[in-house]
Structure 1
């Protein structure tokens, strides 16, 4: 029993000791863990303190302004010296006041961005210091780990913004200049393109920046000159000269360019500054001046040969008058008429060239467009080949015009011969005349046009046409699309000069390979109906004026020619026998009979012969004042018109256009 009790006590003793050992070990372990935790926390605290010292040191000594504010009230909790210096403030309240110079809307947007993203980066804004000065800042902000705090960094960008503003102002000045200013890098890409370049070339800045300049203002024909100028600039630092460049749409312009090599800060080439001035108009004026000098030279030459040419044509005209007296059959007279017309036309052409170079205007009379078209057709019969078909059309009702018939024939014949040259293989040619109304829209479209009633002459062909790029040049003196030796380039320049002299204008419609249409607009003066009984234009017949003279040599040559130029067909008659034959031959077409007053004793007898034939023609007597008194004394001669010498074409035309119901005396 005692042994058992002893063993139990020993077991209890050892058990107690074991428990104590375990307890002591646990306590030791716990204490060791606590000690380690304390050491870790101490280390963390020390690191935090060190970090805080570093941050504070950075905060205080940073060149950038640093700020801590409460969110969302923008109360300033802390600000470093750099920020106070930047804001020129001494207290946090002053800093807040400066920040509050931002608009409420801008602050609201910033707070919304902070709430949504937690950060704001590189936001630029304008603040106003308390001394009134402007302060441009760029700041970035983020929500702080501290509750309701935001930390921000401010950088003063006032100098940069002022520099940018200066650059913008300088750019505006560059944009105001009419010159094209551009900067190319060494790869020929555009780095700068001012408004002047936009106006000159037609390309906007955003369309060309970073693009190679060779892609849009130079082509294969102008690239060589550009490359030579580029290489010269790279070698010599500058270049000046003229270049041909291409505008948007394909138009070519002449530019006077000044190039300068641009270098970087380390002296290396970085690009080329180019300043280009449009001298296209100046070159055109220079060209016109040179042409004017050439025209003046031609004028000097022409004035010398016109006299010689007239000496050539005068015997031809005298010979024609002799042939008219001897040959009376219709075929011969028509042939003689063509010869006379060609001789007169040649003489007038010489005179017109001289008038053109001297700037003289022809005598304008009232003209019938039908007569002009008829004369042109006769002329064309002699110059057009058989493989060109001519179609003529004149409107049934057409207005008269005021003009020089020789000049207008010259214009139409010139256009028709140009059409002939454009159809070497043959084709069709249309010549027409009709009334038209020039509208306000046409006035805006065509230079020299005015609103109102016009007669339009049209010349249309099926020839080779004119390239669209060349149409605007065709009226320039000495410009021609014909081969060397086949054209002087003066025809159309004379044409447009004549048309302007008649207060008209001309239009051109042409397409390469499809022919051309020229339209000449001349002011209408009165509207007349075409005589339905009048023969076709191509028949060669017209209203006839019998001109009775005493002899081949004694009559008014000028008046006779002017009658023909004014649209009538005068027939020269000498003596009573020829008069009777002519009255019978031209009975159906005679409009009037003119008695030249150089033989007053015979005139009344001849007038009585006409009255006996009961012919409806008007009788017009050209006589001096004394001769008129003798003719008036015979009451049997009425009605007639007496025109006092010297007779003018205007007076005779006035009589021809009025009915004669009694004796009329005009001076």
Structure 2
């Protein structure tokens, strides 16, 4: 169809030539030259036969001699082929929307006619029939008419062949019709009514404003079309004997028309190209602005990239654009709105590398890869067959790189016909790739920031001296009790600090050091509470050395500081506990001697006064022993006898005692969430815990009040047991003792478990009440928590591990009778480094009828025992002694006699009864 149209246009163009008896002696515009170049440029060199056929028809019609006909045909074909080759070689865009393309058209118009002139001259110079034809000497006129024909119709046909007219909407078509109607009316008026004369020729230049208007409103197509219509109309009128040029002498007439036609043709073409370039630049800037606006307003990268692809397809006519992202070594299709889906699926997952099409090659090399003709491009050799069903003939690909040069993907532009890019088009694609990089990196940065904002627990911020917060993430807002980061950013950073002067010192420090610094600060939350925060910050410096910003991270260390404080407290109590344990051990040795002698005095004296005094000594010793037990409980060195106890029953059975202890002015209530909550504990020690807590509550209620004791089962998770290495998460029973008394301030609460710390008057408290509770509970595998405030009372919560299976609880131990038992027999080895203890033990044993061997240390005892090991009935030994302890002594004696009974004595009870020495073995606590 296109070839038939080409032939028809050539034949029609032949009729506008000089006609005998017309107003011109020779042709002014040779339109076939322009039609021929446009057709061969569009259809390729293979369409040259159409040019030859049309040239043959016109020359036979004129009646030229055969040689002239042949040379004329060859000249016409040479001119068309040369012009089309130059158009491709010079990379002229058929839209003629750039001034450079118009300038290159002028080059073609100047050069191409020379080929037809040369061949025609050769034909006329050959001997034969040509000698009977007058030799044509008007070569300059020939060159001008062919050049004007090229300028007249080649741009118009090239633009129309691109299908631009089909893209016009109805409004633009109506506007074009109005412009051409105005042009034709003006031409008709001027050619029919103007006074014939040289002055009237100037009036014809009135068509130039119409052509300029067409260039402005309709672009290069409007400019080329109006110029061509005006030129052809004036040429045709002059041929017909109309118009102002008829007034000129016939010999000057053709030259005058050519000069006028050149002005009418070139002005609109140049103006149309300039306006198109300006519009194109405006469209490029507007497209970039739209893409950047989408990026800046936080729209998704896909929306910005879709706008970018649409803009490129509009700016590069006939293009179909795709954007692919690089994942590893493979390209993944992101956007390709104009390409067939099947093609997109085919290239999705393309491995990058050399000769992997334009896209794979560009991504591999990091440089643009241009295939002007896929059929002949080596990079497309493997994929050439795949492109044919889709009609893809050319592909330009530009890599998308980040700021460091890393390839993120590729921009690809496909065409349905072979086409090479201009330098401007490549620059446009590179700008598009840069915009794509901005969109992709911005979204990646935004996604990263959003992920950090949502998932990172550390607070992040940027502040300045003058503006306060520039940025704060949600984690920082949550940390400080604000619902959103925006609410937090409305607060001055100084107002968040309990000690703002420390913040100013910190700023000065990081400004002076220029590096990263960190410190802990007490921050004020929105509700007025405080939180300890570790702030790690750095300063950013402007080129002038000023300090515009402070960037940093904030970590809530309140819990860590609490754990550190608890660790310090535990270490402090451990140290004091060791001291208390040592004192208790020595004191127990003294008490043992006191008890022994007092019992001997009570049993051996007949004087009632003496016996009563001895009994009072024993009672005082028992109270002193209770004090040592409290010290040992505090230091967690007390010997416990844990058995399964129903905690609810233990508390209930203490009810009567507690009511007598606290007095009638205090209301006591005991409640249990459920019955049968069992724990493994020493009943006496747990009773001591409840009693101590009740006494503390009584002292906090001098004017009366209420004391509530309740028990409840619950689960403690790992977070609740954090910082308590001796406790494992699981089921617990909570014993809670609450009073509505005077309470205590924070400083007192922090020291409440310290040994010997008391707020009572001198002589009214030992300071061991709560510390004893702490030691017993800790040794029982539990946790103690204290909550109190001035005027709001005190709550002490004891958490004990819940036992899985209830068993009958053991009764409370009773003091052994001091009455003499029946006399015994046998040999006993007594080993004790404390002389008073050794003396009372040996005295009691001898009075009971036993034979006794004495030793002051393990080595001495080993020497005695090895000599008489077969006779020994029992070894009584202290655990901790110089020069060989009781454990080592028992082990060595057992080597000589495996069944030797051993009874250990200890005032420490740091370790359970040793089992490594074998049975029979037992342990007795001092005193």
Name the structure with the higher strand share: 1
Name the structure with the higher helix share: 2
Given the two structures, how large is their TM-score scaled by the length of structure 1?
0.49
Given the two structures, how large is their TM-score scaled by the length of structure 2?
0.37
